[in-house]
Structure 1
Amino acid sequence: MENTKTRATLRVFVARLVGTTVFDPLGDAVGKVHDVVVLIRLRGQPRAVGLVIEVAGRRRVFLPLSRVTAIEPGAVITTGLVNIRRFEKRRVETLVVGELLDRVVTLRDGSGQVTIRDVAIERDRGMDWKVTRLFVQRGSSGPLGLRRGETFTVRPDEVTGLAGSADQQGATALLATMEGLKPADLADVLSDLPLSRQLEVAAELSDERLADAAEELSDDDAVALLSGLDAARAADVLDAMQPDDAADLVSALPASIAAQLLDLMEPEEAEDVRRLMTYDEYTAGGLMTTEPIILPPEATVATFLAQARKAEVPPALAAVAFVCRPPLESPTGRFLGMVHLQRALRERPQQLLGSVLDKDLEEVHADDSIGTVTRLLATYNLTALPVLDDAGRLLGAVSVDDVLDHLMPDDWREADDAVTDEMIERSANA
């Protein structure tokens, strides 16, 4: 353990601090560092006031630095219990990783602009944490995003523009923290950022990656993000989304923007979205996707397994193949039955799907309620159900994750982990 004098002059670089485990006095891990909150003042040294830490359930909470007793390699030690109220950034606060890293600032000595790559905080003799150094770089990213240019440290008072506008910020460091995140976690990070910063990050993401995240955002956040994109880019993102999620999002947009984006989408994708938008939100038709795994009866088990392995197929839909007569685009020819992934794994690769069908299913139609769908999914322990028209053709499939999204309250991403009264009421009334 360091002595008091050593701790008083401890310098911590924030980018390296991110991901560090936070421990209580008993040595139990309570979460990991996600960001650092600082106050940038017109006069005086910027002050670091707390950590944003991620605790169980991906909840981000605020930990005042006054309650941090030590920052050591691989560990942050606190004085006691952490307040689990969700962190909400105030206007006077700035997030180092979310808003400062990659900001372009100007050197007061007249030698030009530099980009902030890291921020150092230190505890002074009064036990307050101050921003004491900026690790900066001249020049910009080179080919393939590689950084180039001289790097050095400066004091905060040696630059101007530290509290600058969003157009002075790049996204390199922030994107690095998002690499490898699951879509739901990426959406959670995006929702914590100002819209201008969200749009900057979105510009650097692929259509598929942004589509995955948009599917996990709340309706309000997704609408704001999509509305802020260039219309052509927004249409490309909608093309990459699951049709049911795209339909939900388009339905929530202002009518003029929705019509424009539908015209810009790929015709086949737009047709699916328009068809799904005709159904009530809380019916099987409103819940279903038009792109499950659909195969003919003469397809083999090996073909099904190859389809299930595709990265773009959601896990709930990868667990089952819907076997139909041609045409295989929804609405298909006559629906014959389902083949479950577990059953397929027990068969020979060359076995025909038509010989291992599960036909013992209660029919679900597009106008059936979400309550009917939920009951059947639970009764038969399924991850997805076929939705048929009156002629017995497959219109689409409802997956268990889509049902859960609609049963949960609108603000479930921000709510406590406990089941809310709204969720119970909605389930009972479905």
Structure 2
Amino acid sequence: MFDPGKLRTMKQRDLKTKLPAAYWRLWWASAVDNVGDGIFSAAVPLLTVALTRDPVLVSVVSAATYLPWLLLSLPAGALVDRRDRVGLLWRSQALQAAIVAVAAVLIGLGRIGIAGLAVTGFGLSACEVVFATASLAVVPDLVSEAQLHRANGSQYAIASAGQLFVGPPIGSLLFAGAAALPFGVDAVSFAGSAALLAALPRRPVPRGVRPPVRVAVAEGVRWLGRHRLLRTLAGLLAVNTFCYQLGNVTVVLLATQTLHVSERGYGVLLAGAAAGSVLGGTVNARVVAKIGALPALLTALIANVVIFVLIGASPNAVVLGALLGVNGFATTLWSVVTVSLRQQAVPTDLRGRVHSVYRMLGWGLMPLGSLAGGLIADVLGIRAAYPVAGAVRGIALVAALPVLLSAMRAGKPAR
């Protein structure tokens, strides 16, 4: 039976046990891929604002990038539970390499616009839905249960380092040289990741009669619906990611137009968020061992609310970067806790479907968050988006508080 206090009882020897070689192959693949993603994440908004200064059109590109999480998460989960997960990992990365390579050529020829960027973002994210779902399902096959929190923390740390710390400054520098360069480098990173993933050990694919996809998806939905803590966290994640994107879609405008940060400086600014995220991923296992998983989660969520309100009032780029860094630390801390709780609780044969339901609820509102952020910035001003998002996050946290406190009390005897 699942015990929410179980992660709290980790021994120091569990923190020091070496992670297996197969896990580190996955880690290196993530490292290569996420550096490329960081390059891409800096280049896309810069190219977007080079094509248009309309905040609504800027938000359309972001919304298209997140739309596949709403449309494809559920069928992707069923696919992950009935197919070779390693095969899905490397094939999705190979397809992403092809998509972004085509985009690089079009950009080099000067034949891409807002619609082309939106289509590229949609295609890459469609592959990412499969990749992310399979990746979460694979980790428990590679490490022991006692190592889950540290393994997930290391994955989040390298993702944050690549996407927000290493990649963005490189992407900004490459974009300043030629708009197509960062996209070409991203294509190479996807290909390198695919090559590493293809050598991961395979888990036998379940045989026998398989129910229709619709029935299989419904089974995952019902399982999550019966789990009070995880369904509450899924709903909380939905609101938080909606609000994150509501604010985040305007950060490029806040930095470049309001605070007058240069193209190169924008990439460095994003590195502030990455520094906090990397630190959060690195120390999360020790924080959880010290104060407990759910107390760490609740503290991080409260910090997110306060920080979002403050970001909107940032007087300069230094303060904005510092706030983004603290926010990155808090976000990574609660993200790792929730992922580890899910991996610990969900049966192996349901892992892909439950993760996909969770991701759909968590990420499905992000396109709406992008559009809402663009509209709020257009009507109320660029600085307004983050405080509005912080207020909404605070209301959601208050609503979820009884369930979180109940789970914390239930976990106390296991301390």
Output the TM-score relative to the length of structure 1.
Answer: 0.22
The one of the two structures with greater contact order (alpha-carbon pairs below 8 A, sep at least 6) is 2
Higher strand share: 1
- Kindly name which structure, 1 or 2, has the bigger radius of gyration based on alpha carbons: 1
Output the TM-score relative to the length of structure 2.
Answer: 0.23
Higher helix share: 2
